[in-house]
Structure 1
């Protein structure tokens, strides 16, 4: 079928609305109109002309017009909207705008927005990078979705330097009012206003902040620790004892301030977590512990890992336990140091292995003394509100005592009875200085030394001593003192003969003390005006004036009397004189004199340290050989030599010599004759003897004092053992047994009954009685080893070399060699790595084919109530847990049995009519269980009628129908069992059975559960067989 369509078109001149486009011409279209005829054939269906769609139809649809002929453009655009909460946000929406004619004319200068269009210099692009040449103000603020770059810095608020606002300049310097950091503040240098104030407690130990707390197993806590920077991890170690403070003053109801304690069971460094176990209340200060909390700062207090070979071998404790020596181990995390503003002290702790401290844990305390540190007597001597120093030792050069007003106080030093030898001593003379003065007793009075170095005897006529007892009237005194500038002079000789003298010069000061005060003289001229002169001597015999002050003939360095002249090191300057080292003796003497008397003296000892001489031979061990025996032969070796007494003197045999009186000439048959006539060939030499010796220093390689022998570093007794036999005195050859001494411990040599090694501090005594404190870290006592922290045969809870008992600070342990028998009692008898606590542990794993192994045997007998064991908490066993006892009860009369017995299985033998047996009353059960009258209980009881019974009996509970008596009026029935101390019998439905109980014949069995819940008492029927 053919269809014919006619298309009509008409042309008209285009009229652009843009004036610019009209200037360019209206286009080339003609104004002709006409029609076109389209023939469609071929039998194909004709397409509906209205179904045709142009590709740009969607764009054309954006245009529309209103009734007045205005055109509109509809397009999608990002717009700002306000949500229901009043918050602005941006969204895409369809926006319809009027097309405004004439704008294209005004925009002609934009060159259709070409790249080089001048319009681009007037506006900022939202699509491309751009730069604004002027200042831009945003009234609604600005939001940057990516990083902002402020290369010239930034101002905030109305910035005024030092007053208001904030600034960050182009190099990063900033100024602001305050800062709050919710995590941490990291700075490379912190400069503050010269004041650093701390409050509370400052701990100098490992520290961390808890970010999160989770509950762990068996009451433990898992703490997630805060990382202070990337890669940070906690420094805590297993076994660390940690604590932290909770100070919550704004919880709305009441303030909280307490301390929480725990110990670290394990550390997970990868997750930065700690598994901790809180301490029980009884093991923390104050008796009440609290759980650790989020945001709490915790620090190390000590460490509870015991130092021994087992823990040292555990790799988890490699940072905790170290080895020192062959068998010495130490925990290096048991010491801490803190400053407490609250307690007012600085404290160093040592050996801390639990929260509650002991006096031995305090190493150093500066400030107020902690409570419990000092014993009661010492505590009474101090002012608890004042600071003190507590330390093991003090190394100090000057110790100056002052009173509470700051005045220097002089200390009296009592020297006993006055002694002339002491007064004349070069080093131990009597002293009177600015800090100390000596006192002595003499002729029944107490005297104070007021003249340093005086040799005067204390009396009323000398000016060197003052009578302190006041027994006599004291005259007016003028006391002179000579004070040299140095206490000792040292001459050190070099290999080349050169001598170094220290000090190179000595000066003197003279004091005059009287009732009017003390006058100091620094000039010889002033001394002469007083009629006195100062002299010095190098030998105590030849004296020369010591010139001091302005009267000296030589130019002085200063007014102290020191003369400086050109000299070598081998010259000593004394009061204007240069003294050569060869003239100097062993003392330097000073005397202050008037015309007739010596008013004051002073002595300066001189020490000469010469060059090393030839090495001498070893000294001999001298042993006493008793009285001289003319029939004995005496021999001296290179190590030992005998000493004998002959007449009133002692003689010692020379090294390597042998003496037998029988072979000696007639005039040398005694030690005295040998010394007198032997000459260079003499065998004996006189042993000096003094009835009394007063000396400052005795230096001897060998000495015998009383019954003690001093040899090298040893002091030992003359009696002891040799080859296990007790010996004393001399052997059959006249040789002292102790000459075979070596070290006091080697078998086969002389082992003395008492020996002291002054180098090692070792003491060996066969019998010692010590009254007072013993502080031992190693050794043995009564067959038990002593080591740090234990006494016994083993050094560890689970490991050791020997069987027996070991006593540790927190438990006592027994074991045999193969550990098949083990018993321990203490605060915790399990290794700390288990994370469990046990106060007692008993193990019996002995291989026993024929007998029975017992773990614990407990007996309790011969009392009304015998309780062998009582437990609070669960009693758990993986094997049989039962009792086998029973109580036979014979009913020989018509009676009521109502008291319980030792067992909860009763076998009733009844041969009487109308027998009754009552269930136990509550008080008797509680009494047998050893619990209070208000304590609830649940007990099973089994009642069996004996198989041989010929009579039945009944079981009764609380009721008001059986077993009664009449009251005083003879009419009212009083039921014996109608009281709350007896249990109601309940059947299997929980109903009370108030009548007679079950009748029991031979072989019958009934079981009840007696239950008291604190208010009611019932007997629940469990089983009944008739």
Structure 2
């Protein structure tokens, strides 16, 4: 008999592992990138806040409550504070050098941001007031006048340098004039009068300097045929009116406020229109047409801050923006306060449309139009406090759901984020639908897990509904999942359904035309139970039923 020897190895491909979880990224967003300390010791802003941000996979970033946010303060003496749990805005303390925020998730440092404090340097002492430049006086030469050159004088009075001209021909063009500058103060005579020509040795040259030799001070380039600009010094131009009064000028002087261009005054530092060496403009009157692009500065009580118009950095005034049309009794305003003191009230927003003559032919006045849509949850308005209206307010949104399958419980289909009034039509038999869960209500209202609430929720069985259906709250109804029986509705997420006799229902039978109004109530401090195991923190209390 033949025998085979050897071995056979069988290899099997291992199973793929489960997909990994999406990456999670955390980061911090302080309210400012730096705090400025001015030379008088004040901080701007006076406090700093910080938000925690999170992104899971490719989803949109959100503000998160996860993790523990702490902060530490560094001081100018190189000492530091202990890491402290962050809960609210941090007031900048004296001698602060930086504030560091650290985010811990599962005791791991996952994000850090530091806000430095920057300091202004001390201003130097003001320099001495410089002398006002000499005033150039221009005229046609004549004998019998005292001509001045006061450039050597050091007193604070008015100083003059005289310029005179002689015409080279019989024209009246300024470009045909020959100009002379007075070299020293003197009384003019025939003997010291300037001449059109010279050989450099004439006695009148002691008193006059021909300016035509100082190219290009006086040329057709500077003296136009229809205007004359008088030069005061090599770094200043003064412009006079017909009466010889200075009305404007240009200067390169380092004296005073270092004004480079001015108008409307004989002196630059207090002119109503002036531009200084750094390009800062002061204008007491302006009529500007065209495009204005402003990225910083101040308008009335507002400051331009990036892309915002605010009343900061101190936020201590009642700056507001108001639009009115008194003829048609309309008013729109927002700000620190938009009510007159005579009302005895304060309001940060006011919108009125009280036109009584139907001028526009619309037959309707609308004071405010709000819209929020296209998201999972939409709030046209959201706030805290009471609402009082001399009129009526109601929502007319229509919501209907159809139960198509039999022997099925529809969980989460009466969405309170869409409406709190639902019409239900049933074609399937022996089916039911659940009331909104606690998480669904909180998400719809935009509130936290510790906030109590009390809202109405109405369910109406549609007229001529083919079958009845049950409404379920918290109950021990069993369902089969993968062959095993479970009670998924017996959790604190579902409201305990109660009635007016201090009892409870597992479910409420609804037939065609029936209607029921629930009061969904969440009271985190509510204790006690019904039927031994049904807690009362989240309840659906029947306040009206028609069947």
Length-normalised TM-score, structure 1: 0.27
Answer 1 or 2: which has greater helix percent.
Answer: 1
Larger Cα Rg: Structure 1 or Structure 2?
A: 1
Higher relative contact order structure (alpha carbons within 8 Å, sequence separation ≥ 6): 2
